[in-house]
Chain A
Amino acid sequence: MRRAYFKNNWVAALMVAPQLLIVFTFFYFPTSQALYWAFTLEQPWGGGNTWVGFDNFTAILSDAYYWQSIWVSIVYAAGSTALAVIMALTLAIFADRQLAGYKLYRVGMIWPYAIAAPAVGLAFRFIFTPGAGMMMFVNQVFPDLWNPVDNGTQAMAMVIVAGAWKQVAYNFIFFLAGLQSIPRSLIEAGAMDGARVLRRMRDIQLPLLAPTFFFVLVINITDSFTDSFGIVDTMTAGGPSRATNLMVYKIFNDGFQGLDYSGAAAQSIILMILVIALTFVQFRYIERKVHYT
């Protein structure tokens, strides 16, 4: 393959510099600060800190509630990713089949992604409110069936649905683009060989969609670990009794509200390692099964 490259390295450096500057200022520098704080006890108003080695980490990792928070985050990530991927895929397949009104639908489906997480949380809080929203009707038929205020499992389900709903739009765009890039001739050939819709989907479309699927999976899992606190904050505030206390929400609570910068920094590092590890696992073991065309 022929490669294009700059003959003058200074021009290349100049071109890359703004991007690198942004990455260093807004990613590497803060991360290095967080890393430093994680090993110290930092006074919020400045005025010095003490080096404590791994104390912050041992304190966090020996806390049973922190492990619960990790567990809850994994449940949320798995639940919201699975739901968002399945829903988006279903919707994209329908949009791709060009059923009546699909153009309108294609545009409408993109909107949810533009809504801020706290607004999504508020809307879903109304939907799932046991006493006033839509779930009130369920409670009228089956009294006390739905009560996310007391019931941690239901609260988690509620947060997962809201989180997945927000992610569906994003996934939808990628799935639809993926489906549309599959050559029509393949599908038509399948049809001529007598394969029906579901069969064509299973044997042609889904395998060819694998790269998109993998990309969406990685993005969704990362996103559900790092970008879920807006929904949790408005819907449950981590409750009831820590049932929806996601790792990232705990960081927000301890660091931003509680001014425990060191504890929050250590938690950030742990979260970062977890996300890196998960991404690594996905690339190492799942990507192998993906065939890029």
Chain B
Amino acid sequence: MNKTYPALAALALAFCATTASADKIKFDYWYGLSGDLGETLAETCNRFNASQDKYEAVCTGYDGYELVVQSAIAAFRAGKAPALLQSFDAGTADLMMSGQFYAVTQMMKDYNIEINWADYFPGIANYYASSKGELFSMPFNSSTAVMYYNTDDLASVNMPAPTTWAEFDATLKALKAKNPEKCSYGYEPSVWVDLEQYSSINNVPLATNNNGYDGLDTKYVYNTTSAVKHMEDIKGWLDAGLAEMKVSAGGMNSQEAFSQNICSFFFGSIANHSSLNLKHADNLHWDVAMIPTETAERHNSVVGGASLWVLAGKSEEEYRGVAEYLKFIATPEEIKFWVSNTGYIAVTKSAFDSLTAEGFYSAAPYKGREVAIASLTATEPGPLNRGFRLGSMIQHRAEWLSEVQAALAGQKTVQEAYDTSVERGNALLEKFAKTYAGKTLP
């Protein structure tokens, strides 16, 4: 019963305060990446510390974004928060409403550090900016969803990578006809790919108020858009055996099914590019393409991953250290280090251009990652492609998943499932608006 109370966490944190030598000015940085990605992030801290004689970043990794945000909140309420926090897309709305952060553009201005904000890809920068366009957090590990496909399988049916869902449908049928034993499309329900990215790419609204950017009295509307038809298509493929469920609970998720050459298609984050490179069946040849569209018209996809938030209530010295760190990771060399050791994309145009000029993207193992940039920059982001500024996003994602599972198991139609999910999502948004009654989105 006492699980909701952060006293324990705060207490533990108090003991965890660093004990190393106090020559340098230290600041805390908490991040949510784990595994290989987490180690690479820790390496950026080491590189920063080695380059510095004045400041030291004390970096602490957590197992997942939810956990790091939760821990930071507990610590923040106890006055022990880190100065810098890696927070994910779904945590953005709460942080923005709270106002308990130091906008990076303001901070860099205050400490006279020159950063060319216009250099950031607008699709990335917009997600973390206020409705007036001021960038609140530092874009860092950015990704987007892409389509991974087995080149041998597509060659066997003489088809190029599909660019529309109609072509995708035809490809699945051709693959099934050619090789009925093979799983054509390993499907794993993903609200991020199937609904959020879909809505942005096809320029349909997920919610009113321009996906929540213009106010808190927002309602979900995706049960009235072509997103419903798309989900019905997916269900149709599953029912017809053109796609198969590949989820962890069944022993193998869609990425594993693709990398083991069991399924021909996989939809996921470009961040998986690096792990697919490192680990895949020897006989698998694969490539990446943009996610298909409904019509020939394509809009930019939404940025995923996380950004770095500077939290409020820290000393000026710590902020100077944080500013140095952010300046450090924004340098072209560091962007290159980060991008080449993970699957994430270059967040600035200049870094992307210089990497392209060096031939970084034209040879294995990095070839294919430019597709993510192409997808993010397909168009200038319009009101429906900036991203989503919605409260209680995690809970909405859980509602969506439960309803989609019910629809895929045949307990209800896709339309009924989406209606319920929207209705429950709206209740969450209403509650979120009530929680922040009297406040407006910055």
Docked complex: A16-52 residues within 8 A CB-CB of B: 25-27, 29-31, 33-34, 37, 41-47, 49-50, 52
Docked complex: B144-190 residues within 8 A CB-CB of A: none
Of the residues A34, A257, A262, contact of B2 by C-beta under 8 Å: A34
In contact, A268 and B3 (Cβ under 8 angstroms): yes
The digit string for B1-29, where 1 denotes a CB below 8 A from any CB of A, is 11111011000000000000000000000
Q: Does B247 interact with chain A (Cβ within 8 Å)? A: yes
Q: How far is the CA of A205 from the CA of B100 in the complex (A)?
A: 64
Docked complex: A45-95 residues within 8 A CB-CB of B: 45-47, 49-50, 52, 59, 65
In contact, B66 and A45 (Cβ under 8 angstroms): no
Main secondary structure on B side of the interface with A:
helix
Of the residues B5, B247, B402, contact of A33 by C-beta under 8 Å: B5
Q: How far is the CB of B77 from chain A (nearest CB, A)?
A: 5
Of the residues B8, B77, B398, B401, contact of A258 by C-beta under 8 Å: B398
Residues of A within 8 A of B411 (CB): 241
In the complex with contacts A30-B1, A252-B3, A257-B66, A45-B100 CB distance below 8 A: yes
In contact, B5 and A30 (Cβ under 8 angstroms): yes
Residues of A within 8 A of B431 (CB): 41, 59, 260, 263
Of the listed stretches A1-9, A128-136, A186-194, A195-203, chain B binds: A128-136
Q: Does B252 interact with chain A (Cβ within 8 Å)? A: yes
In contact, A272 and B66 (Cβ under 8 angstroms): no
The digit string for A119-157, where 1 denotes a CB below 8 A from any CB of B, is 000000110011111000000000000011111100100
Q: How far is the CA of A42 from the CA of B100 in the complex (A)?
A: 15
Q: How far is the CB of B55 from chain A (nearest CB, A)?
A: 26
In the complex with contacts A42-B435, A47-B99, A256-B70 CB distance below 8 A: yes
Q: Does A239 interact with chain B (Cβ within 8 Å)? A: yes
The digit string for B391-410, where 1 denotes a CB below 8 A from any CB of A, is 01011001001110110110
In the complex with contacts A237-B249, A241-B409, A45-B98 CB distance below 8 A: yes
Docked complex: B391-442 residues within 8 A CB-CB of A: 392, 394-395, 398, 401-403, 405-406, 408-409, 411, 424, 427-428, 431, 434-437
In the complex with contacts A42-B435, A261-B4, A264-B4, A149-B250 CB distance below 8 A: yes
Q: How far is the CA of A152 from the CA of B95 in the complex (A)?
A: 36
Q: How far is the CB of A223 from chain B (nearest CB, A)?
A: 13
In the complex with contacts A34-B1, A260-B392, A29-B7 CB distance below 8 A: yes
In the complex with contacts A45-B76, A259-B73, A253-B395 CB distance below 8 A: yes
Q: Does A236 interact with chain B (Cβ within 8 Å)? A: yes
Docked complex: B237-267 residues within 8 A CB-CB of A: 245, 247, 249-252
Residues of B within 8 A of A260 (CB): 392, 395, 428, 431
In contact, B77 and A125 (Cβ under 8 angstroms): no
Q: How far is the CB of A55 from chain B (nearest CB, A)?
A: 8
Q: How far is the CA of A64 from the CA of B97 in the complex (A)?
A: 30
Q: How far is the CA of A52 from the CA of B431 in the complex (A)?
A: 11
Q: Does A162 interact with chain B (Cβ within 8 Å)? A: no
**A to B CB contacts below 8 Å, 11 in the list:** A34-B4, A41-B434, A46-B76, A47-B98, A132-B251, A150-B245, A239-B249, A252-B3, A257-B395, A263-B431, A271-B1
Kindly list 18 other residue pairs between chains A and B, CB separation below 8 angstroms, not including A239-B405, A259-B94. Answer: A25-B7, A26-B8, A30-B7, A34-B1, A45-B100, A52-B434, A59-B427, A125-B249, A131-B251, A132-B252, A241-B409, A251-B3, A251-B4, A254-B395, A256-B70, A259-B91, A259-B394, A260-B428
- The 5 A-B residue pairs with the shortest CB-CB distance in the complex, in nearest-first order: A30-B2, A45-B98, A129-B251, A30-B5, A241-B406
